[in-house]
């Protein structure tokens, strides 16, 4: 997967996305702007990170979970 390694830890781009969410709830567009990642990568990344329980979607925006926070600290 592009954002999560086989061992469950985030890749460099996954970490960038998670770190961007440490400031609070953000849309994919906001995270793309903050990280410099293409929007399509952020959207697909959010899918992966949500499946792994590292982020959660709230009305089109995303929030980092406790599990996600633990992995980027």
Partner 1 sequence: MEEVKEQTSHMPRIGEPAPAFEAITTHGVLKLEDFKGSWLILFSHPADFTPVCTTEFMAFAEIYPKLQKRGVELLGLSVDSVSSHIAWVRNVEEKTGVKIPFPIIADLSKQVSLAYGMIHPGESKTETVRCVFIIDPNQKIRTILYYPLTTGRNMDEILRIIDALQTTDKNAVATPANWRPGDKVVVPAPNTQEMAEERLKQGYECVDWYLCKKKL
- Which positions touch partner 1 (CB under 8 A)? 1-3, 38-41, 43-45, 47-48
Matching residue, tokens 């925006």: 61
Question: Which is nearer to partner 1, 11 or 67 (by Cβ)?
Answer: 11
Tokens of 40: 């399509």
Question: Which is nearer to partner 1, 5 or 69 (by Cβ)?
Answer: 5
CA–CA dist 26, 29 (Å, integer): 8
Question: Which is nearer to partner 1, 47 or 73 (by Cβ)?
Answer: 47
**Shortest distance (Å) from residue 6 CB to partner 1:** 13
**Shortest distance (Å) from residue 29 CB to partner 1:** 8
């Amino acid at each position: 997967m592009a954002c999560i390694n086989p061992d469950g830890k985030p890749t460099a781009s996954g970490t960038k996305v998670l770190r961007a969410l440490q400031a609070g709830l953000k849309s994919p567009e906001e995270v793309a702007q903050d990280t410099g990642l293409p929007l399509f990568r952020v959207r697909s990344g959010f899918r992966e990170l949500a499946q792994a329980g590292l982020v959660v979607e709230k009305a089109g925006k995303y929030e980092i979970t406790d599990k996600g926070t633990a992995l980027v600290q």
